[in-house]
Structure 1
Amino acid sequence: MTIALGPIFQLCWVVRDIAAAQREFTERYGVAQWFTIPDVHFGPDSCELHGVPADYTITVALGYAGGQQLELIEPKSGISLYSEHLDTAGSGLHHIAWVPEDFDAALAEAKANGVEVLARGAFEGVGMEFAYLDGGALGSAVELMRLSSDMRAMFDYLIPKGYSNPWA
């Protein structure tokens, strides 16, 4: 079973203090720039956790280490896959993400092979859909993403000069 081919698009850490995590990644690992989106709300009409509607708010920060996208997520309110991670494992690597050519086919392949969908949803108004799969032996989740051309353009704008995103 191959759910997604190609390079890993994103590595994500869930953290308790996003500003401290940004400083650490900048000082220790050279992430020069962060794009931070505070208080992103996901409501029950657009998101689910363990198969039931979810309602939560997070702060997100995106940066690049060379051509590798890094994401930091700080849960702010509500119960989410991110707050569950903090409660059970503390801060740390939460998921790896791919942008499959065919999001629907990749998700169907995962389900057909018994892979549990932990959470899924849409970032309404920006053209992004996501599904988190149980990572099994990986110990962290796997995210599949569907990105509109506008979202891809935004990610292309954020990437440092001399690098490209997987779809370029």
Structure 2
Amino acid sequence: MSLVSGPIFQICWVVEDIVAAEEHFTEHFGVARWLRLPDVHFGPDQCTYRGRPADYVVHVSLGYAGGQQLELIQPVSGQSLYTEHLERSGPGVHHMAWVPHDFEATLAEAGRRGLPVVAQGRFEGVGMEFAYLDAGPLGGYVELMKLSDEMRALFDSLVPESPKG
């Protein structure tokens, strides 16, 4: 039985220059607009990295290619899975995310299957939690996300309208 079901919700790249990455995706892959969230801070009270409290800052941009959410993350300060990725591999695909129906039950099942959580956290006040699982022989990570109705509505508002034809 599969740990998650449904479509991939998000594909994420870790980048060194978020502005250049946005421009590249817009010019070559038709991502018409981006929601940029500069200087997103994850403190030790809301996030862990490799089992320890984390403290880091990232720039985040969200865009859509059709109905597929794309995320760009540029590390700014502190140690995280994102700085680790740049140090090991340079810029590139970092994770794919799913939004399971039952976030807690899916995390518990991942633990039973021996899939380690390498980082997790929450956005205070916006209704979002996340956990990164090591993707093992696939490389990279799988992110599990828990979204409030408000976060889903925000993400839905970013999806471009289909062209009338």
Report if TM-score (shorter chain) is over 0.5: yes
- Counterpart in the other structure of 1:139: 139
SS at the partner of 2:19? helix
- Counterpart in the other structure of 1:69: 69
Partners of 2:145 and 2:15 in 1: CA distance: 21
Letter in 1 for 2:32: A
SS at the partner of 2:22? helix
Letter in 2 for 1:13: W
Structure 1 stretches (4+) deviating beyond 2 angstroms? none
Q: Which consecutive residues of structure 1, in runs of 5 or more, have no partner in the other structure?
A: 164-168
SS at the partner of 1:79? coil
Partners of 1:3 and 1:80 in 2: CA distance: 25
Q: What's the C-alpha RMSD, in Å, of the aligned pairs?
A: 1.0
- Counterpart in the other structure of 2:111: 111
Once the two structures are TM-superposed, the CA of residue 49 in structure 1 deviates from its matched residue by: 0.4
Task: Tell me, yes or no, if the aligned pair for 1:128 and 1:145 is still in contact at 8 Å.
Answer: yes
- Counterpart in the other structure of 1:94: 94
TM-score scaled by structure 2? 0.97
- List per-residue Cα deviations over 1:49-91 (Å, max 9, x = no partner): 0111000000000000000000000000000110100011110
- Counterpart in the other structure of 1:161: 161
Letter in 1 for 2:89: A
Partners of 1:108 and 1:51 in 2: CA distance: 16
Partners of 2:118 and 2:5 in 1: CA distance: 21
- Counterpart in the other structure of 1:54: 54
SS at the partner of 1:115? coil
- Counterpart in the other structure of 1:120: 120
Once the two structures are TM-superposed, the CA of residue 162 in structure 1 deviates from its matched residue by: 3.0
Percent sequence identity over aligned pairs: 64
Partners of 1:17 and 1:157 in 2: CA distance: 25
TM-score scaled by structure 1? 0.95
- Counterpart in the other structure of 2:37: 37
Partners of 2:49 and 2:96 in 1: CA distance: 18
